[in-house]
Amino acid sequence: MNYSRMAFEADLPRIEAPASITNPSGCNRLTGAGCTLIPATDDGQPAQFYPFFSTHVMNGACVWQLGNHIPGSKNDFGQNQEYGTLLNSTYTGFGGVATTRYNNFRQILSKNPCAAND
C-alpha cells in the first residue's frame, strides 16, 4: 500500500539516561533539556553509530534500508537529522490528569519519498 506521507521518529529521549545530580546533562523528558539525537555511551560521549533510514533502487523499485552509510543509497534524508526535532506529547494519566513528556524526535514528510511505483 502506498501512503501519501510518512514520518521518521526515534524514541531516544525515552531511552536516554534521565538527568540527575550525578548526570546533569542527561535527558530531561519534562523540559527536553539535554535530549540529543545521538545517544551517549556509558562514558557520556556521543555514540559512534546510530542507524538511520535511506532509500535504494533495487530491480527498478524503491526500497528502504536501515543502517549507516550503505553503499548505493539514493537518499539518506540528512542521516540522523532525518529524525527531526523534539516532540512534546500529552498523555492522559491517572484520574484523567494530563501530563506532557518529550519522548520522541519526529519529522513528518508531506510526500512519501519511496512509494511503490517510484
Structure-block grid coordinates of residue 25: 546533562
List, for residues 75-98, the tens digit of each pLDDT value.
999 999 999 999 999 999 889 999
pTM beyond 0.85: the answer is no
- The answer to whether 81 touches 97, Cβ cutoff 8 Å, is no
Structure-block grid coordinates of residue 58: 533495487
State how far the Cα of 27 lies from the Cα of 89, in Å rounded to an integer: 15
Close Cβ partners of 99 (under 8 Å, ≥ 6 residues apart): 90, 91, 93
Q: How does DSSP classify residue 47?
A: P
The backbone torsions φ and ψ at residue 46, rounded to the nearest 5 degrees and listed phi first, read -60, 135
- The answer to whether 17 touches 26, Cβ cutoff 8 Å, is yes
State how far the Cα of 11 lies from the Cα of 102, in Å rounded to an integer: 9
Confidence at residue 116, expressed as pLDDT on a 0 to 100 scale: 74
List, for residues 29-64, the tens digit of each pLDDT value.
999 988 888 887 777 778 888 899 999 999 989 999
Please give the distance of CA 45 from its chain centroid, rounded to a whole number. 19
CA end-to-end span of the chain: 13
